[in-house]
Structure 1
Amino acid sequence: MMVPVQLQTDHNKKKTTVIALLDSASDQSFITTSLAHTLNLNIQSEATIIVNTFGGKAEKKKTKRVITSLFNAEGDFINVELLTNDQITPPLQMGSVLREDELFIREHLSEDEVLRLLKKNNDTVIPGILIGMDYFNSVMQLDEPVIRLPSGFLLTHTFFGAVISGAPQFDNGQHERSHFSKRVTNSCTILQSNQIDISDLCKLHTTGIEDMTSDEEINNQIIADFYSKVQIEDNSIFVCFPWKPNKMRLPTNTHLP
């Protein structure tokens, strides 16, 4: 899900509108390094993180932590801590609102929300911010119901306005199969500057002894297993969550009466 948000520069308090990607798979929130520099945001601290992209290789990166405020169209704001990263995602294509959904939206939403939802039709955007799970409770309006639009898309209310997401459904019960957008799913571990990364101790670089399975090979296997188990039944898509190997098996309660 993508929403427009406003940020203030630290030097003249001028507001700038950028696109934010809401990503529940990320446990941290990010801002592009270039945007943080443009807004002249003060650096609070530096840290080293490990970033895992879905289907990509885990990378260790140095990042900076900044604090800023994200404003909605009404002028309300939330304070956030963001980590800098060179890129959030590749350019993403914004879909167009279908005709039957547009009629529903015009009937049930305010004029300002209608204009905002229809403004970005078929545009290519580059998100400047990624909002992860650390701020999801502040962004998602959990007291508002999620509305299924006539096409099958979902209309979700957020702190920054209504968002359309999901996939359309058709009379024959088949889902529209479109290409999957590349999206970042981050798993980050913060390493303080005075801490040792103990993962390096498991490898003997001088003798060439390493784990026989690289992170990239594991991730590629996870992707292959994930897509091989996708099934479409009764107008629903069923998937099996991917898991990495060598994880401890959890106890079961099947022996209980």
Structure 2
Amino acid sequence: MGATDQQTDIMLSFNFIRGMLLLFNLLLWFAGLLIILTGIWLQTDFQNYLKISGGYSIYVPYLLLIVGGILVFAASLACSCTVKVDPAMLVIYGGFLIAAMFTLILMSIYIYAYKDNVITALPAGIEREVNNYGASKDDVFRVNNVTLIDYVQNNLECCGSKNHLDWPKDSLPNSCCWDRGENKNCTDYQLGQLHEVGCLPKLIRLINTNLTSVGVMLSVLALFPLFAMVFSYSLASASRRIGYQRIG
């Protein structure tokens, strides 16, 4: 009776470990999907705020897309070896999870460094856009035929780097004004119709908040492969110990 109870306890523990590994595989799959969506967001909407800085890198979104895709693919395949309890594949998967954990940690550190580079280069980037405003279309970055500085000033409701005085006299763009009607000439302004706050502090706050959130997210997601690795090695060890056979 004691031996039977012990065998039952072992099987219950075994099934618990397998269930937890399946759970963390699912969480890892969603983590990969979240990283992919973050990469898409950085490549589309948010990049227009980053491109004004000389520290902008086109590779960061693609890096997130690649890592997220690998996590989704690996987590999908891992469900098979978890259900079938293949000890050799579980050990290999555990090694992959270790690599995934360190990759996410390194990516988190890189995002923090990237954020600092972008913010440091912002003043020079805004100054460049202001000085190049009105140049040929080939020299000015455009989003749907709107210059980058116009895009930032319209969406963040700001003007210049520190304020409207950063613009040359009598050359304020319409994006500096609250009233953006076609007949509005922003050079004939009244202070109450101008965006009184400069773009630099708003951009710094926006970029710092969002990229810090991405870095924190990657650090938290690194816990998923850590726990999955523990359960993967535990399941491989338990299956060898009790002589568990594959189930089809």
Q: TM-score, normalised by structure 2?
A: 0.25
More helix by share: 2
More strand by share: 1
Q: Which has the higher contact order (CA 8 A, sep 6+)?
A: 2
Q: TM-score, normalised by structure 1?
A: 0.25
Larger Rg: 2
